[in-house]
Amino acid sequence: MGNIKRVRYKTKRRQIVGERPGTISIADDALKPIITVYSYNEKELVCADGHDLKVILDQFKKCKDHTHWIQIRGLNDEKLIEDIGTYLKINPLVLEDIVNTHQRPKFDEYDGYFFTVIRQVYYNADNELCNNQFSAIVKPGLIVSFEETHDEHFEAVKARLAGGKGAIRTAGPGYLCYALTDTIIDTYFVLLAHIGDELDAIEDRLYSHADKSIMYDAQQLKRTLIILRRITWPERDKINDILRSENPLITAEVKTFLKDAYDHIIQVMDLIENYKEIAGSVIDLYLSMVSNRMNEIMKVLTIISVIFIPLTFVAGIYGMNFARIDPATNKVMPDNMPELYSPHGYIYTLGGMVLIGIIQVIVFWKKGWFTKL
C-alpha cells in the first residue's frame, strides 16, 4: 500500500495452559547459541568463543581475578541454559523468562544476583521492525547476557572494553550492564531519527504530491511509535527501580551514570510523544486535504450543473414537437409554440439563456461559492 512495511504486533508467546512454572520451552524458530566470553581487569582483556558451557568454564579457570562478560546470542539450547542456571544457581523462573522472549523491561533482585530485561527495537536488514529481548544476569564479577539474534549490537562497547579508557574496565559488572543498557537506549534514538526522517518525508509529500499511501505510511509509523512507547515506559520504571535499589552490584558510580540513562529514556519518551503528534497531524491534514479536493470537485460539478440545468430545460422546451399545422388535417394551431415561428425567436432564446447563465453566476458569486474554503 505504501513505502513502509506493515508492522505486525503478533505475540510470540507459546500457549501451554497450566504448565509448571519454571519450565524452559524454547520457541521453534529460535537460533542456535553463539557464546563469546570477555574476561577483563585493569590490565588485560581476554576473549574466547564457543558453543557450549566448556568455553565458559575454561575461561573461568584461566582468568581468576577478572570480570567476565558472557555474551550468549541465540537461545535454542535448552541444555546450555539449564546448565548455566544450575552452575550459577539461578531461579528456574529466571531461566523461563530468558527463553520466553516476550518479557517487559524489568529488574528483579535475587539472593546474590539480579536479573534485568530490556527490549531491542530496530529495523532489520529487510526493513522489518524487530522487537527482541535482551536479558542479563549480573553476579559479583560476572555478567551473562542473552540475545535472540546473532546480530552485533555492541561493537562500540567492545571497542571501549578493548581501548580500556574510562571506567569500563574497573567499575565492575554493574557498570557493564549499564553500558549495554545505555547502548540499547542509544539505538532508540537512531530508530526515532529514522522515524523523524520518514515523517518529514511524508509531510513534504503531503504538500508536494499527496496520494493515498500517506495515510497508510503515517499509520505504520504511528504503530511503531506505539510499540516503542510501550517498552520505554516500563524501561523508565525499571531504571528508577535500579536507582532506588541498594544492591551492592549497583555502586554509587554506576548510579550517577544511570541517572544520565534515565534522562535519555525521558528524552526518548518526549520524542515519541512529539512524533505521535506529528503522525496524527499529518493524518488530519491529509484527510482535510482529501475532503477539500472532493469538495472542490463537487462544487465545480454543482455549479456547472446548476447553470446548465435550466438552460437545457429551455432547449428541451423548444425541442418539443407541438405542431403548428396538423399534418393529418392541415389545421393551423397558432397557440402551439408560436415562439418557434417568430423571426428572431432563436436569437431571443439564446439571449435569454445567456442572461439566465449570467444571473446565476452573479448569484453564486455573491453567495461566495467561488471562494476556496
- Can residue 311 be called a binding residue for its own copies (CB under 8 A)? yes
- Can residue 93 be called a binding residue for its own copies (CB under 8 A)? yes
For residue 371, the 8-state DSSP code is: S
Half-sphere exposure of 72 (CA within 13 A, CB side): 27
Strands (E) across the chain are located at 34-40, 45-50, 67-73, 106-110, 113-123, 129-139, 142-147
Contact positions with its own copies (CB under 8 A) in 226-285: 226, 230, 256-257, 259-260, 263, 266-267, 270-271, 273-275, 277-278, 281, 284-285
Piece of the chain touching its own copies by CB under 8 A; list 43-51, 71-79, 135-143, 209-217: 209-217
- Can residue 124 be called a binding residue for its own copies (CB under 8 A)? no
Site string for its own copies, 332-351 (x = CB under 8 A): xxxxxx-xxxxxxxxx-xx-
CB 78 within 8 Å of CB 33 = no
Q: Binding its own copies by CB under 8 A: which of 79, 200, 358, 365?
A: 200
- Can residue 60 be called a binding residue for its own copies (CB under 8 A)? no
Supply 11's cell numbers: 505475540
With respect to its own copies, which residue has the nearer C-beta, 39 or 100? 100
The end-to-end CA distance of the chain, in Å, is 30
Q: Binding its own copies by CB under 8 A: which of 45, 55, 243, 303?
A: 303
For residue 105, the 8-state DSSP code is: S
Q: Binding its own copies by CB under 8 A: which of 57, 87, 187, 359?
A: 187
Q: Binding its own copies by CB under 8 A: which of 57, 201, 317, 359?
A: 317
Contact positions with its own copies (CB under 8 A) in 62-91: 91
Residue type, 15: Q
- Can residue 372 be called a binding residue for its own copies (CB under 8 A)? yes
Distance CA 148, CA 73 (A): 6
Strands (E) across 111-195 are located at 113-123, 129-139, 142-147
- Can residue 362 be called a binding residue for its own copies (CB under 8 A)? no
Q: How far is the CB of 245 from its own copies (least distance, A)?
A: 16
- Can residue 365 be called a binding residue for its own copies (CB under 8 A)? no
Q: How far is the CB of 182 from its own copies (least distance, A)?
A: 7
Distance CA 164, CA 160 (A): 6
- Can residue 313 be called a binding residue for its own copies (CB under 8 A)? yes
Q: Binding its own copies by CB under 8 A: which of 57, 201, 304, 362?
A: 304
- Please count the other Cβ atoms lying within 10 Å of the Cβ belonging to residue 254: 24
Q: Binding its own copies by CB under 8 A: which of 44, 212, 351, 355?
A: 212
Please name every residue paired with 130 in a beta bridge, in sequence order, or none if there are none: 122
- Can residue 354 be called a binding residue for its own copies (CB under 8 A)? no
- Can residue 297 be called a binding residue for its own copies (CB under 8 A)? yes
CB 280 within 8 Å of CB 222 = yes
Supply 86's cell numbers: 544450575
- Can residue 30 be called a binding residue for its own copies (CB under 8 A)? no
CB 265 within 8 Å of CB 228 = no
